[in-house]
Amino acid sequence: MSLQDFLSSLDSLVADASRAFEACSDADTLEEARVQYLGQKSGALRDIQKQMGGIDPADRKTAGMQLNQSKTAIQDAFNEAKSRLGQNEDGGIDSTFDPSLPGHHPVLGHVHPITQTIEHLMEIMGRMGFEAAEGPEVEDPWHNFVALNIPEDHPARDPLDNFYLATAGKGSVPGEEGSQLLRSQTSTVQIRVMEDKQPPIRVISLGRVYRPDAPDATHFPMFHQMEGLLVDRNVTMANLKTVLRVFAENYLGTDVEIRFRPSFFPFTEPSVEVDFYWNGNWVEFGGAGMVDPNVFEAVGYDPDEYSGFAFGLGVERLCMRRHGITDIRDLYSGDLRFLKQF
Ligand code: DAH
């Protein structure tokens, strides 16, 4: 046999053996393959070794060296397959596997802090008899402005202060009938609820609102509000103050104080700004007031028969105060190092 033939049969043997070991899926087939290639009596490597005698003595040294290298390569391929199948070289269980160590824990997701806050607020308000109501995030000018007594020329309707949607044809002019926008306040849901049913009404609505504000520590173009609406006969501002005080005591703690400052909103008359005294500071959390008679008329209620109050509070602001979060952007960065703390 020529040296050339000898070397090339060694090469194909290494390739065949490696492929065979790799294909084994259990210890029995691996053992069969080992006998086939590395067996002392009739293994394929042994057969080739026997051919050494027919090689030109001048080439035997080269042939012998190559034979040893091939043997090592086949042995390595076998060991690799063996450890892949979970056995170490002496046939025991892989020594890197320690059954007494705790396993890898799958990473479990959890509820986002804002969603946790929403659930908490719903629970507190639910105890005072407020039911959750929902409305769409893509709204029309009627629900976002007109029915809420926000006149055509009011700056709140400015395209620069709202996310109007690009629509073709009718309604393509922002703010006109038929146009659409991402709601800028959850007060829209007040209108939807009152269009839908008659008093008495006691609802809250928790959801996203959108305004084109540049993000900073206290602003984000999307945030959440908790809207409240109570309509019945003989509702007073004292009722409003009590509900908000009880709410704040439950959410922020019993030593919280509440303050109303005169303000203006088109949909309430009178209107107030709501501050809570908490941790040594007066902090504004939103607006409130007695539902404006024009709003009742827009939804077909008789303002002489019914009265009501409404309020809108910032959910992020509540969540941030309670948890000591100082930058609203942290809530929406998706940074797990932050989110995992809640
Ligand atoms: N919609 C107001 C805003 O986004 C908040 C608000 C004020 C809601 C007074 C109310 C209210 O229901 O009565 O700034």
Report domain extents, the chain: 3-84, 113-339
For residue 179, the CA-to-ligand 1 centroid distance in Å is 22
For residue 165, the CA-to-ligand 1 centroid distance in Å is 23
pLDDT at site 40: 87
First to last CA, the chain: 76
pLDDT at site 170: 66
Q: Which atom of ligand 1 is least distant from the CA of 228?
A: 12
Write out pLDDT tens, residues 75-99.
999 988 888 887 655 555 556 778 8
Ligand 1 pocket residue status of 286, Cβ below 6 Å: yes
Dihedral of alpha carbons 192, 193, 197, 200, sign: negative
Q: Which atom of ligand 1 is least distant from the CA of 268?
A: 13
pLDDT at site 88: 53
pLDDT at site 245: 95
For residue 139, the CA-to-ligand 1 centroid distance in Å is 16
Ligand 1 pocket residue status of 113, Cβ below 6 Å: no
pLDDT at site 193: 98
For residue 310, the CA-to-ligand 1 centroid distance in Å is 8
DSSP 8-state class, residue 156 = G
Ligand 1 pocket residue status of 312, Cβ below 6 Å: yes
Answer whether 245's CB lies under 8 Å from 318's CB.
no
Residues of 291-318 as b/e, b for ≥16 C-beta within 10 angstroms? bbbebbebbebeeeebbbbbbbbbbbbb
pLDDT at site 190: 98
For residue 332, the CA-to-ligand 1 centroid distance in Å is 23
Cis bond leading into 200, ω under 30°?
A: yes
Locate 249 and state its tokens.
């005591």
Answer whether 235's CB lies under 8 Å from 307's CB.
yes
Q: What is the distance, to the nearest Å, from the Cα of residue 308 to the centroid of all Cα atoms in its chain?
A: 37
How far is Cα 90 from Cα 71, in angstroms, rounded to an integer?
19
Q: What is the distance, to the nearest Å, from the Cα of residue 285 to the centroid of all Cα atoms in its chain?
A: 26
* Greatest distance between any 2 Cα atoms in the chain: 120
Mutate to test the pocket of ligand 1, among 181, 185, 192 (most ligand atoms within 8 A of CB): 185
Ligand 1 pocket residue status of 78, Cβ below 6 Å: no
Q: Is 261 helix (H, G, I), strand (E, B) or coil?
A: strand
Ligand 1 pocket residue status of 149, Cβ below 6 Å: no
Helix and strand element counts for the chain (H, E): 12, 10
How far is Cα 238 from Cα 244, in angstroms, rounded to an integer?
10
Q: Which residues pair with 291 in a beta bridge?
A: 268
How far is Cα 54 from Cα 69, in angstroms, rounded to an integer?
20
The second-level CATH assignment, the architecture, of 113-339 is: 2-Layer Sandwich (3.30)
DSSP 8-state class, residue 108 = P
Pairing between strand 257-265 and 222-232?
unpaired
Ligand 1 pocket residue status of 247, Cβ below 6 Å: no
How far is Cα 227 from Cα 148, in angstroms, rounded to an integer?
13
How far is Cα 242 from Cα 244, in angstroms, rounded to an integer?
5
Answer whether 287's CB lies under 8 Å from 265's CB.
yes
Locate 129 and state its tokens.
């008899």
**Each residue's pLDDT tens digit in the chain (342 positions)?**
888 888 898 899 999 999 999 999 888 889 899 999 999 888 998 888 888 888 888 888 888 888 899 999 999 999 888 888 876 555 555 567 788 888 888 888 899 999 999 999 999 999 999 999 999 999 999 999 999 999 888 999 998 999 999 876 666 778 777 899 999 999 999 999 999 999 999 999 999 999 999 999 999 999 999 999 999 999 999 999 999 999 999 999 888 999 999 999 999 999 999 999 887 889 899 999 999 999 999 999 999 999 999 999 999 999 999 999 999 999 999 999 999 999
Task: Name which of 47, 48, 39, 42 is nearest 10 in CA terms.
Answer: 48
Ligand 1 pocket residue status of 287, Cβ below 6 Å: yes
In sequence order, the 6+-apart residues with CB closer than 8 A to the CB of 327 are 217
H helix intervals, 128-176: 141-144
Locus of tokens 């609820």: 193
Residue nearest to atom 4 of ligand 1 (CA): 185
Q: Which atom of ligand 1 is least distant from the CA of 312?
A: 8
How far is Cα 75 from Cα 14, in angstroms, rounded to an integer?
10
For residue 285, the CA-to-ligand 1 centroid distance in Å is 11
How far is Cα 259 from Cα 240, in angstroms, rounded to an integer?
12
Ligand 1 pocket residue status of 265, Cβ below 6 Å: yes
For residue 247, the CA-to-ligand 1 centroid distance in Å is 17
pLDDT at site 247: 97
pLDDT at site 95: 62
